[in-house]
Chain A
Amino acid sequence: MAESNYWQRWARSRLSRRRFLGGAATLGAGALAYTLVGCREARPSATPAAQETPAGPPRGGIVRAVLLGGNVFDSVDVHRAFGDPTSWLSNYVLNKIVRYKNPDTGELEGDLAERWEVIDGANYVFHIRQDVFWQQTPITNGRQLTAEDIRWHIERQKAGRLSDGSQASFRHQSFYQQVARVETPDQFTVRITLQQPRGTFLDRLANYFSTVPNRETMERFERNHTVITEEAMPATGAFMLRRWRSGEEIRAERNPRYFRKDFPYVDGWIYPTGLFEDPNAWRIAFEQKQVDYFYSSDPNLPKSIIESKPGQMYEVLTGVGNTVFMHLNMNQQFKDVRLVKALHMAFDRRAIIQAFHQGLGQVSGPVPWLQEGFAIPTQELSNMDGYRTNRDEDIRNARQLWQAAGGPALGEINIKVPDTWLAVWPDTVQIIPNMLNQALGVNQFRSTRTSYNEEIIPNLFNGQFPNWFGWTSQVSGPDPRETLFSVFHPSGSQNFQKVNNPELNRLLEAAIVETNYQRAVDLVRQIQRILIDNGQYGNVVLYNYILRTAVWNYYRGALKRPPAPGQPAQGYNIFAGHLNADLMSLNSNDPTFQGRANITL
Chain B
Amino acid sequence: MKLLAYLRSLLAAVRHRNEEDHDLDEEFLAHIQRHVDDLERSGVPRADAERQARLAFGGYARVKEECREERGGFWFESLWKDVHFALRMLYKNPGFTGVAVITLALGIGANAAIFSVVRGVLLRPLANQDEDRLLYLRQSVTGDDDTAFSVPEIKDIGANLKTIEELGTMSQLDFTVVGLGQPREISAGVADGNYFEVMGLKPVIGRLLNPGDDGPNAAGAVVLTYRFWSTSLQSDPNVLGKTVRLGSFEGTRSATIIGVVEPSVPYPVETQIIANIVTSPHHLSATMVQGRVHRMTEVFARLAPGAELESARAELNTVYAGMLAAHPEVYKPSDHYQITVTRMHDQINSRASTILWVLFAASGLLFVIACSNVANLFLARTVRREPELALRSALGATTAVLRRSLLAEALVLCGTGLLAGVLIAAPMVTVLGRYAARFSVRAVGLTLDSSLLWIGVALALLAAVFLAFVPRLPSADTSKGFGISSSSVRITGGSRRRLRIFAVTQITASFLLLAGAGALLRTLLVLQRTQPPFETAQVLAVNLPVMTDGRTPEQVGEFYREAQRRVATLLGVERVSTGFATPWRDARFLNLGFSFAIQGAQRENALDDPRARFRSVSPGFFETMGVPILQGRDFDEHDRDGAERVVIINQSVAKQLFPGQDPVNRELHWTDPVMRFIGISYEPRRIIAVVPDLDDQNLIPSQAMTIYQPTNQEGWNSRLFVRAKTDPYVLVPAITRTIHEIAADQPVEHASTLNDIRAEVMTPDRLNAVVFGGFASLALLISVVGVAGVLAFSVSGRTREFGIRLALGASPRHVLTDVLVEGLVMATIGVTTGAVVGFLSVRAIAKYTADFQVPGTLPLVASAVLILAAALIASALPAARAARVDAVQALRAE
Q: Do A and B come from one complex?
A: no
